[in-house]
Amino acid sequence: MMSIKEIAKLAGVSPSTVSRVVNNKKWVKPQLRESILALVRETGYVANNAARSMVLKRTFTIGIVIPDTFNMFQRQLFSIIEHDLEVYGYRTLFFFIKWEPESEFNCLRKLKAENVDGIIMLHELNHPDVYAYLTQASLPVVLCTFGREELGFHSVHVDEEAAARTATEYLIQLGHRRIALISGTHFSFASQRAAGYRMALESAGIPYDEARVISAVAYNPEEGRRSMWELLERGGEFSALFAITDELAIGALRTLYEAGLNAPQDISIIGVDDIDIAGFVAPGLSTVRQPIQAMGKKTAEIMSQLIAGEDCGAHSHVFAHQLVIRESCDTF
């Protein structure tokens, strides 16, 4: 690999001068600058990041903590964030969290080893050491799609409870009263969305019936499929289903197909997130949209401001959700 010294030798100048040129600093005679630039182009020289970040004490790298099984929603989100971060001049480094308990600890190790300039979490970490480290290192942190007010981190998210209430109320408005729920236990959004469901029921004077709710152990289509089958096999009657994520809802839709049932004629189904594929299944999935694009952009923006030491105002940035009506729900 070409190094700055070699370029310097070729140009007959000192490394400092080359450094000044490639970093666009002043105090280099225009003519010299040009000739060095030409040399750089010719040789294809690019400065070594490791060496650079060591002296600068900045890596220009933002760590993104994300589950290794990241779903389509998170996938869209991080693409947006990655893109914007690049525009701001930052690289992204992914830290994939697995379901094993040591994974979080492992992530912390890597975080320390990498010396990132900031961290964006698309995944809730529970190990207190992680948050302790982040705080103590006073590393810029932005939580995306969940909040942690107590910890004082910036966060970008929707009001999960309200979003779930919107979905459930839509079903109620359509005339449904026996509404099943596919919920889950992992991550705070699950209990928040489940709470929104209960509140909607309560407001409408509909009793909450445990026989119609099931807790999924993951948020993918296969779990949705499995859960819906279980719900069906319980024999309890329901005319509509609220699944706390679109992927779960898509799996439930699949179960209906397998069972020879139709949505929305037999059972109405609604999800949350509005992932890309939601509009392509048949019937198109009605859902509550999280403004992925806007949330991703905001996350990147806050991060860049935080690093620049600018004030970002409120710590909690709550985005409005939006009901998206497609074809999977009908009046009862």
Partner DNA sequence: GTGAAAGCGCTAACAC
Partner DNA sequence: GTGTTAGCGCTTTCAC
Minimum distance from residue 289 beta carbon to a copy of itself (Å): 17
Spatial distance between the Cα atoms of 207 and 284, rounded to a whole number of angstroms: 29
Strand, coil or helix: what is 119? strand
Residue 112's contacts (CB-CB under 8 Å, 6 or more residues apart) are: 133
Spatial distance between the Cα atoms of 75 and 33, rounded to a whole number of angstroms: 43
Residue 229 makes contact with a copy of itself by CB under 8 A = no
Check if the beta carbon of residue 187 is closer than 8 Å to that of residue 146.
yes
Residue 35 makes contact with a copy of itself by CB under 8 A = no
Residue 22 makes contact with DNA by CB under 7 A = yes
Q: Which amino acid is at 193?
A: R
Answer with the entry of a copy of itself, DNA, none that 13 interacts with (C-beta below 5 to 8 A by kind). Answer: DNA
Answer with the entry of DNA, a copy of itself, none that 75 interacts with (C-beta below 5 to 8 A by kind). Answer: a copy of itself
H-helix or E-strand spanning residue 170: helix 160-173
Nearer to a copy of itself, 80 or 156 (CB): 80
Minimum distance from residue 89 beta carbon to DNA (Å): 14
Residue 25 makes contact with DNA by CB under 7 A = yes
Spatial distance between the Cα atoms of 300 and 306, rounded to a whole number of angstroms: 10
User: Which residue from 186, 254, 297, 315 is in contact with a copy of itself, where contact means CB under 8 A?
Assistant: 254
Answer with the entry of a copy of itself, DNA, none that 236 interacts with (C-beta below 5 to 8 A by kind). Answer: none
Spatial distance between the Cα atoms of 164 and 206, rounded to a whole number of angstroms: 16
Residue 231's contacts (CB-CB under 8 Å, 6 or more residues apart) are: 180, 182, 212, 214, 238, 241
How many positions of this chain bind a copy of itself (CB under 8 A)? 52
Minimum distance from residue 147 beta carbon to a copy of itself (Å): 26
CB under 8 A: which stretch of 9-17, 153-161, 251-259, 293-301 binds a copy of itself? 251-259
Residue 313's contacts (CB-CB under 8 Å, 6 or more residues apart) are: none
Residue 68 makes contact with a copy of itself by CB under 8 A = yes
In the region spanning residues 149 to 188, those forming contacts with a copy of itself, defined by CB under 8 A, are none
In the region spanning residues 27 to 46, those forming contacts with DNA, defined by CB under 7 A, are 27-29, 32-33
Nearer to DNA, 38 or 56 (CB): 56
Nearer to DNA, 53 or 305 (CB): 53
CB under 7 A: which stretch of 14-22, 120-128, 156-164, 284-292 binds DNA? 14-22
Tokens describing residue 195? 């709470």
Spatial distance between the Cα atoms of 154 and 141, rounded to a whole number of angstroms: 7
User: Which residue from 1, 138, 205, 233 is in contact with DNA, where contact means CB under 7 A?
Assistant: 1
Q: Which amino acid is at 228?
A: M
Nearer to a copy of itself, 47 or 199 (CB): 47
Q: Considering just the CA atoms, what is the radius of gyration of the chain in Å?
A: 25
Q: Which amino acid is at 59?
A: T
Exposure letters 17-38 (e unless 16+ CB within 10 A, then b): bbbbbbeeeeebeeeebeebee
Spatial distance between the Cα atoms of 232 and 258, rounded to a whole number of angstroms: 12
Nearer to DNA, 48 or 126 (CB): 48
Check if the beta carbon of residue 157 is closer than 8 Å to that of residue 143.
yes
Site residues for DNA per CB under 7 A: 1, 3-5, 12-20, 22-23, 25, 27-29, 32-33, 47-48, 51-52, 54-57
Site residues for a copy of itself per CB under 8 A: 1, 44, 46-51, 53-54, 59, 68-69, 72, 75, 79, 82-83, 91-94, 96, 98, 108-110, 112-115, 129, 133, 137, 220-222, 225, 250-251, 253-254, 256-257, 276-277, 279-284
